[in-house]
Structures are given as structure tokens and as C-alpha cells.
A and B are shown apart, each in its own frame.
Chain A
Amino acid sequence: MHDTTMTLEEFESYLDRHGAEPDRWPADLAERARRTLATSHDARELLDEARAIAQLLDDALPAGTLTTGSLRSRILAEVSAGPARSWSFGWLTGGSRLSRSVAVAALLIPLFLGYAIGAGSQSGGVNEDLASDVSLLAFADYETYTDAN
């Protein structure tokens, strides 16, 4: 008789693992659950409570009024666009960490080189004449003022 029913603890454990509809449990457990429910008031109370909680969850997250029309259209449009997607920035934001690092490096290295070349050309002697002209212009008014006085 013992193995044709289950203890209250066992019944509650199966309720938690398989849900509040014993008819949908694995066949051997479903049969033992039926026998247990037929003889145990406490088991029936546990089942009622589990069903009430399940109903609360169904009410809380119905998701029954969803429509997929516009979403479906967007997905199919993206798929039809095909290769255009591969020109987007997905190569930068998606992929593995390694591929993202390579992509970031590919962007930063030209920027760094551009900055280095620009800074180097300013510190060289190429623009020294221009720099002295600018200095003269800056003091021009001052010299005029001091000459006059």
C-alpha cells in the first residue's frame, strides 16, 4: 500500500517540480498522486493552494493579447535588406571579445597615427618662419605704441 500513495512531503515536492496539474505528471507519479488525493484531505489542500498560485501567475502575466504584425514586418524587412545589414556597425558591437578588440584597434590605430603625424609636423622646423611672423604681428601694436611715446 505504501508505494501506491505518497507522503504529504513527497506530494508537495512533486507539486513544486511538476506543477499543479497531476494529470500532466509522469504516468507513474500521476497515478500515485490520484490515490493520495483520494485519501488525504491535506494533499487536496496543498493542490488547491498550488492551483490558486498558478492562477495568480496566469492572471499576472497573460501575454494573450500580443500582436506580431509590425514586428514580423520589421524582421522580414531586415532579412530582405540582407547584405545592407553587414555594412552596419554590427561588426563593432557584436561578435566575440577578440573580434571586437580587433575592430576597436582598427579604428584607433589610424586616429593615433594621424595625431602623431600632425603633432610631429608642428614640432619640426617647417613652420618656424610662420611662427616668427605671428610673433611679430602680435607685438606690432606695442612697438608702434612705444615708438610714438
Chain B
Amino acid sequence: MARVQRRDQEAFTRLLDRHLLGLQKFLIRMTGNAADADEVSQEAFLRIWSHAGRWQSDRVRFTTWLYRIARNLAIDRHRKNRRTTDDDVTTIIDESPDMAHTIDADQRQRMLRGAVAQLPERQRTALVLCHFDGMSNQDAAAVLEVTVEALESLLSRARRTLKTTLRPLLDQPETQPCTTRR
């Protein structure tokens, strides 16, 4: 990162190769779609490049800084797209597992994604960082700029909500989508 601060493009490329895929995975789970994840990933890395001088190694780890920037950009993007997202959530809520005896794989996927998408942003971030990205509670707390206790409270509320929401799916047989015979 010190070389990136000296405008070394080769060092930036190595940094990009090391972190891009992980960041993309984090963002696709945060934003819910690949296009937004790509846009935010790109903007995050360009900010890293243009503001490299602001990073202070003794204050925050690079990964923490990168994920903070990406999270803030994702929040901004979500605010801009809020109207569309609210419409999507309404659709997801309507597809309650209680409404049908069996659900196909696509419905199941949408309900699962909807359950995560409906979590408050900080709970979702905590869950994505710790459950999916395998970050320690300490590191995730640093990204969210909260104490470890607060982070664990966010995780606890997220997991309890998901347990309640997803429990019906545990007993629900999964069926394949219907296909039309010709």
C-alpha cells in the first residue's frame, strides 16, 4: 500500500488482484445484484487509488478501510435506488412460504435472498462480513466502526430474525420448477 501511495500502478494491480474478488462477493451479497456490485467495486478501488494518501497504516488495516469505503458507497447507491428496492421487497413478502404447499427452487432462492435483503443495513453488513466472508467479530466491528459487543448484538438480532423467517423453509420440500412438455 505504501507503493500505491507513491502512485505505483503495478503495486495497485497487485492490490486489486488480492482483494477484488472478495470485495465483489461482499458487495453482491450487500446490494443483491451483480451490476451494482461491479459498479461499487470499481468506484471503491478508484477511490483507493485517488485517495491513497489518506490511508494511515497505524490507524486502520487496509482491508478494513477498503470495506468501509465499499460499504458507504453501497449505502449511497441503495439510497438512490430505494424506490425500486422497496417494490422488490414487497414482492418478496407476498411470496410467503405458507401460501403454497410446495415451492420451487427459484422461489426458494428469492425468499432466502429477500430474507437477507430485509435485514436492517447494519445487521446485514455484520452477517455478510462474519458469516459469508469469514471475518472475525473484531475485524467486522472495525469495518462497521462499532464495538465488538455492538457487533455481536447486530449479529444476534440478524440471526434470530432469519431463524424466525426461514424456519418454515427447513421443513419445506424443495421442488424443481415446472417445465412445459412439447
Contact = CB atoms under 8 A, between A and B. Distances in A.
Contact of A53 (B46, B49, B166): B166
Given A57-B131, A59-B112, A63-B29, A17 B152 contact: yes
A78 B42 contact: yes
Chain B interface main SS type: helix
Contact of A68 (B21, B155, B160, B162): B21
B170 A71 contact: no
A42 interface: no
A116 interface: no
Interface in A80-125: 80, 85
A53 B25 contact: no
Contacts of A85: 46, 50
A52 interface: yes
Given A56-B112, A57-B112, A79 B24 contact: no
Interface stretch (B10-18, B54-62, B64-72, B83-91): B10-18
Given A63-B25, A71-B41, A80 B116 contact: no
Given A16-B156, A57-B112, A79 B131 contact: no
Contacts of B38: 71
A54 to B, nearest CB: 7
A74 B109 CA distance: 31
B96 interface: no
Contacts, number: 91
Contacts of B45: 75
A131 interface: no
Interface string A17-60: 11100000000000000000000000000000110111011111
Nearest to B9: A79
A13 B162 CA distance: 14
A72 B20 contact: yes
A53 B170 CA distance: 8
A60 B113 contact: yes
A58 B42 CA distance: 25
A12 B25 CA distance: 28
Nearest to B165: A53
Interface in B1-55: 9, 12-13, 16-17, 20-21, 24-25, 28-29, 34, 38, 41-42, 45-46, 49-50
5 contacts: A17-B137, A17-B156, A18-B152, A57-B116, A66-B24
Interface of B: 9, 12-13, 16-17, 20-21, 24-25, 28-29, 34, 38, 41-42, 45-46, 49-50, 109, 112-113, 115-116, 130-132, 137, 152, 155-156, 159-160, 162-163, 166-167, 169-170
